[in-house]
Structure 1
Amino acid sequence: MDVLNTMQLVEATIASIQEKRDNSDRSFKALYEKSTKLAGEMGTEIQKHRITKLQKNRSNIQIESVEDYYRTSVFIPFLDFILNELTTRFPKHEMKCVGKLQMPLSSNFEKGYHNEILEGAYLYKDDLPCFSALEGELQIWKYIWKSLPEKKRPKHPAQAYRLADAPPNVRMLLQLLCTLPVTTSTAERSFSALRRLKT
């Protein structure tokens, strides 16, 4: 999966969670009913935590209804946390800039949008062979793009990257699109597993 597909999925995920957050009464009601049914099958019932007049270390919301208590103290804060993490991990401005790099593969590329592509490419100007030549190369790429039959036009950066006649800066942008990581991960360090091995 590339960054552009991820961007669309992240936006859809944020919109879906935000809808649940905006309609928390309705979305939590179904969840609470399932939880109540499950608790009944296990021979117990859902109870709210003890509430005190003054509490600093945990949630102490003064609500009588058990359903409202868990909706206010657990459900809504959880959704807010997830939304905050997603927007922090995938900043909208940076994602839009990366999205503009896909424009040379768009069917509307013939109509222009060069300034928007340049704005997106500015983030990676140090990685390009010659950023100042990019505007001229986009004009060349436009004519290369127009010369290709519509069925043969590449839909994915990896397909476009294989075109031998792509100008160097455009080719580098396509390479960046192919290789930008969606997430990062690191291998577990050996000393962190050593205790388990000894045990």
Structure 2
Amino acid sequence: MLLTLSMPPTFFDNSPKRQRFLEIILDAYPPETKRKRLVGLCKTRWVERHTSLETFTEMYEYIIPCFEAILFNEHANIYKEGEKVFSWDRETRTKAQGLLSSLKNFTNILAIIVARNELHTVKPMASKLQKRDFDVYQAYTLIDETRNKISCLREDIDAQFSEWYEEAVLVAEKIGSTVEAPRTSKLAIHRANAPNESTKEYYLRNLAIPFIDCLNGEFNERFNPNNRMGKEILALLPAAIRGENDIKSLVQNLIFWNDDLPNPCALRNEVIDLKMFWESKQVDLTEISLRIYALKQADIDVFPNIRTLLKINDR
């Protein structure tokens, strides 16, 4: 699927003539899309990867007639620029043949749509985590929210997949693709081959569910809550301490840094005072960097232990 996504943008980007021809094709259809260029698949940045998926699905039904026009030259007199009729060399037509065959494969159509929808759960997080002014506590909160979104999607995958499947069938009808599952075999060992009773169920069991399970597993491994450095200190940030109900447990966790504290005996009272301090503050904590703001507000004479702990978290 990733190979299917990466090749068409390269095909057009490497040739101004091909890109211009694609734009002429797009202009010949109703203005259902404002996009004029495919977006390459970024290997590292998830936001750009999702943008690539969105762009590809939006332009899918227009890319097909472009390849058909290049390959069969059936509409050369229509898709032309002024009096200039486009002609294509053997290399271009050979590449167009392979790409056309790949894009009209229903498995690839559905795979792109499934990936776009399932990866949508991580798009907001990926975008936010790339911002320089995003606070660490807000980041952990967003990560936990994203984990819950992935889990909810997994629980509701049957209903969600039904909508994705209908979208894929609609795209297939528009481009003249056949809706069918790959031939199955009891001895298949190189591809997913879970038992199924229909084409839809085949793709649910062998495409949608494995993809979301893989996403869930990789996400939990990458953002394991048990591997968060100084996570107890994060509970001292304004948004967290406001909702903290177990002061005793929090203080016990913070005692880990006992040797660094200027006055450990006063830590419990400071935590209680800090909770009351932030509960009395009328400020929108979603619009500021919590860690920096909390450190500035922690007066060294009033909260010496808290200030020390916040500085530890800043290292």
Mark yes or no: TM-score above 0.5: yes
The answer to whether the Cα contact below 8 Å between 1:103 and 1:117 also exists between their aligned partners in 2 is no
Q: Secondary structure at the match of 2:189?
A: coil
- Counterpart of 2:311 (choices 165, 175, 181) is 175
Counterpart of 2:84 in structure 1 is: none
Q: Does 1:159 align with 2:289?
A: no
- Report which of the two structures shows the higher radius of gyration computed on alpha carbons: 2
Map 1:40-189 onto structure 2 (within 5 A): 40-94=173-227, 98=231, 101-103=234-236, 105=238, 106-107=241-242, 113-119=247-253, 122=256, 125=257, 130=260, 133-140=263-270, 142-143=272-273, 146=276, 150-151=280-281, 155=285, 156-163=290-297, 164-165=299-300, 167-177=303-313, 179=314
- TM-score, scaled to structure 2: 0.46
Q: Retained in 2: the 8 A contact 1:51–1:60? A: yes
Structure 2: which 5+ runs fail to align?
1-133
TM-score, length-scaled by structure 1: 0.68
- Report sequence identity in percent: 21
Question: Secondary structure in 2 aligned to 1:119?
Answer: helix
- Comparing 97-106 and 159-168, the one that deviates more: 97-106
Distance in 2 (alpha carbons) for counterparts of 1:61 and 1:108 = 46
Q: Specify which structure has the bigger relative contact order, considering alpha-carbon pairs within 8 angstroms and separated by 6 or more residues.
A: 1
Change (3 A) 1:18 1:142: closer
Which structure 1 segments of 5+ residues have no match? 181-199
Residue 37 of structure 1 deviates from its aligned partner by 0.5
Report the CA distance shift for 1:139/1:53 in structure 2 as closer, same or farther (over 3 A). same
Displacement of 1:143 in angstroms is 4.2
CA distance in 2, matches of 1:32, 1:54: 27
Name the amino acid aligned to 1:158.
I
Give 1:194's aligned residue: none
8 Å CA contact 2:147, 2:219 repeated in 1: yes
Tell me which residue corresponds to 1:187: none
CA pair 157-40 structure 1, distance change in 2 beyond 3 A? same
Contact 1:101 1:120 (8 Å CA) reproduced: no
Between Structure 1 and Structure 2, how many residues are aligned?
174
Change (3 A) 1:120 1:77: farther
